[in-house]
Amino acid sequence: MKIAKMSVAAAAGLGVALTLALSGCGATQQTTANSSTSAASAVCVGKSDEKAKAPTQLTLALVPSGDANKLVDTVKPLEEALTKRLGIPVKGVITQDYQAAVEAIGSNQAQIGMLPSLQMSQACDKYGAVPALQTQRAGKSTYAAQFFTNNPDKYCTDTPVKGANGMLYCNGTESGTGPAGLSSIKKIKGATVSLLQAASPAGYIFPVAAMKKQGLALSDIKVTQVTANDASVLAVYNGDAEVGTSYWDARSVVEGDTPDVGKKVVVFALTDEIPNDGVSITSGLSKKWQTKISDAMKAYAKTPDGVKALTAIYQITGLVDANPASLQKTQKAAASIGLG
């Protein structure tokens, strides 16, 4: 399987976002002992290749959670820092979507991937990629998905209040810790709802699982599919959807361009907590190099420059060793709504 890719530097020169386009050719996929069929009972921790030669360069795959063109620029400091710390060139690529990033890791077109929790498990189950690190935001390694609306009178059982960020919340959602306000989800029946692609834990998997627990199916709503969390917020802000879903609190991503988003778009429900996204490392490297990469990223995340760079990329404030067992929570949520 060939994956066409361009460096972030090249993309910046062209002024376009990078993609990793999967071709239609066949591929032989390695399956670890912890395959997807046994994921519920076994925890995949990945593997290494002790016969692998030391790499001469590394590719870092990322998935845009907002404007891909902005990500092209914001990933540059991370590229430069890892290049300096590892002593070999590290180039970032922006993948087309979550699954493209997994396949890039599996085909060794990328050696490092910054992936959501579900895709970290998939990359491990399918290709033996090591779930090395998990992100932290405000000291937490979990987060909630949120439901928000431009019609708070319909969905709020109390008066919306301002959170610490100055934005409006109701139904006990201002803390950002889920679950909260889930009974109000029943009211979205018949409404237009913006959802991300089915691979997104916060934009699809956990919200749809929460809907199911409240007795709602996708056929009960009108779905507007969007490509990113900020697009979901803007769909509700602009009136293209009455309700939207995203990670908490994606409104901050668009606040600079739409200062009143925190007043016009109100969060009214939070899902169960979701394992944070993180960093997966290919099984095609030795354990020594896997550890070296992991240590370099953790060390960079502890510096002021690192926090600044990682916050700009994915609002990351820290990196810690991953808990592979915790990642299974996303797999179970996906399975509950019929996703493999």
Q: Please indicate, yes or no, whether residues 214 and 176 belong to a single structural domain of this protein.
A: yes
Q: Please indicate, yes or no, whether residues 280 and 133 belong to a single structural domain of this protein.
A: yes
Q: Please indicate, yes or no, whether residues 14 and 72 belong to a single structural domain of this protein.
A: yes
Q: Which of 38, 63, 34, 37 is nearest to 128 (CA)?
A: 34
Q: Please indicate, yes or no, whether residues 68 and 161 belong to a single structural domain of this protein.
A: no
* pLDDT (0 to 100) of residue 89: 98
Neighbours of 139 (CB within 10 A): 7
Q: Where are the beta strands (DSSP E) in the chain?
A: 3-4, 21-22, 58-62, 90-94, 112-115, 130-136, 142-149, 161-162, 168-169, 192-195, 222-225, 243-247, 266-275, 278-281, 318-321
pLDDT at 41 over 60: no
Q: Please indicate, yes or no, whether residues 113 and 15 belong to a single structural domain of this protein.
A: yes
* pLDDT (0 to 100) of residue 39: 40
> What is the residue-averaged pLDDT of the chain?
87
Print the domain residue range for 71.
Answer: 3-138+276-336
Q: Please indicate, yes or no, whether residues 44 and 106 belong to a single structural domain of this protein.
A: yes
pLDDT tens readout for residues 103-128: 999 999 999 999 999 999 999 999 99
* pLDDT (0 to 100) of residue 73: 74
pLDDT tens readout for residues 268-304: 999 999 999 999 999 999 999 999 999 999 999 999 9
Q: At 99, is the secondary structure helix, strand, or coil?
A: helix
Q: Please indicate, yes or no, whether residues 306 and 184 belong to a single structural domain of this protein.
A: no
Q: Please indicate, yes or no, whether residues 146 and 268 belong to a single structural domain of this protein.
A: yes
- For residues 322-335, give the mean pLDDT: 93
Residue 138 confidence class, pLDDT cut points 50, 70, 90: confident
CATH code of the domain containing 177: 3.40.190.10
pLDDT tens readout for residues 219-259: 999 999 998 899 999 999 999 999 999 999 999 999 999 99
pLDDT tens readout for residues 171-185: 999 999 999 999 999
Domain count, the chain: 2
- Are 95 and 284 in contact by the 8 Å Cβ rule? The answer is no
> Among 275, 291, 309, which residue terminates a domain?
275
Chain centroid offset of residue 311 CA? 14
d(CA 99, CA 247): 19
Q: Please indicate, yes or no, whether residues 210 and 323 belong to a single structural domain of this protein.
A: no
d(CA 76, CA 18): 13
Q: Please indicate, yes or no, whether residues 283 and 309 belong to a single structural domain of this protein.
A: yes
- Are 146 and 267 in contact by the 8 Å Cβ rule? The answer is yes
Q: What is the DSSP secondary-structure string of 257-296?
A: T-TTHHHHSEEEEEEEEEE--EEEE-TTS-HHHHHHHHHH
Q: Which of 177, 137, 165 is nearest to 269 (CA)?
A: 177
d(CA 288, CA 169): 47
pLDDT tens readout for residues 56-76: 999 999 887 655 566 667 789
Q: Please indicate, yes or no, whether residues 131 and 8 belong to a single structural domain of this protein.
A: yes
* pLDDT (0 to 100) of residue 70: 65
Structure tokens at 51: 């016969």
Structure tokens at 258: 């739409």
Q: Please indicate, yes or no, whether residues 222 and 267 belong to a single structural domain of this protein.
A: yes
Residue 312 confidence class, pLDDT cut points 50, 70, 90: confident
In this structure, which amino acid lies at residue 42?
Answer: A
Query: Which is more confident, 332 or 9?
Result: 332
